[in-house]
Amino acid sequence: MATYQAIAAVSAAIRGVLASAAIPEIAGAEFQVVNADSLQSPMADGVAVFLYRVTESAVIRTRRTLDLHYLINAWSADPIRQQLLLGWAIQVLDGTSILTPSLLNAASPGVFQPDESVQLMAETLAMQDESALWNAVRALQQPSAAYLARGVRIG
């Protein structure tokens, strides 16, 4: 089982996957893990990883197995670039269905055991739920993609 640092390590791993896959067409883009306050004053150009919910896993029924719910947001003053960044981020994350121990431990070595991994998958977020989320963080709703990191075991 992972240490108490597991949630932060998953967020850093998702940011790292995006940053390491950057292509010339998105040169200059930032990649950040953000909180609700950051969404009120977002970065000028880039992709944000926003953890908005942590739940007990409904699929993996062992003690302290968590599911982490993320919104991936693209930001740019140019709407075409914003959409390009979001489409690129979706493509990258859809190609990364498993966060391996090397990815999970890149920012903080030793958080996950060598035999542990976390499943990453797209998640459907109802429009009403997404609108409520944006209202709660008091930011203007932006096009986003929802992802689920499943099977984070903390022990």
**DSSP secondary structure string for all residues of the chain:** -B-TTHHHHHHHHHHHHHHHT--GGGTT-EEEEE-HHHHHS--SSEEEEEEEEEEE-SS--STTEEEEEEEEEEE-SSHHHHHHHHHHHHHHHHT--EE-HHHHTSSSTTSS-TT--EEEEE----HHHHHHHHHHTTS----EEEEEEEEEEB-
Q: Does the pLDDT of residue 155 top 90, yes or no?
A: no
Q: What is the pTM of this model?
A: 0.94
Return the bridge partners of 48, or none: 32, 73
Read off the pLDDT band of 7 (50, 70, 90).
Answer: very high
- Domain 6-153 bears CATH identifier 3.30.2000: yes
What is the average pLDDT across 88-113? 96
Report whether pLDDT(34) > 70. Answer: yes
- What is the reported pLDDT for 64? 84
pLDDT score, position 146: 97
Specify the pLDDT at position 138: 87
Q: Could you give the angle at which helices 79-94 and 6-20 cross, rounded to 10 degrees?
A: 110
The pLDDT mean for the chain works out to 93
Q: Which residue has the tokens 């797209």?
A: 122
Could you tell me the pLDDT band of residue 143, with boundaries at 50, 70 and 90?
A: confident
Cβ count near 58 (within 10 Å): 9
pLDDT digits (tens, 9 = 90+) for 39-92: 889 999 999 999 999 999 877 666 789 999 999 999 999 999 999 999 999 999
Q: 155, 141, 154: which is closest to 52 by C-alpha?
A: 141
* Phi, psi torsion values for 148, nearest 5 degrees: -120, 125
**What are the residue ranges spanned by the domains of the chain?**
6-153
Six-digit token pair at 8?
């932060």
Quick check: 103 and 12 in contact, CB under 8 A? Answer: no
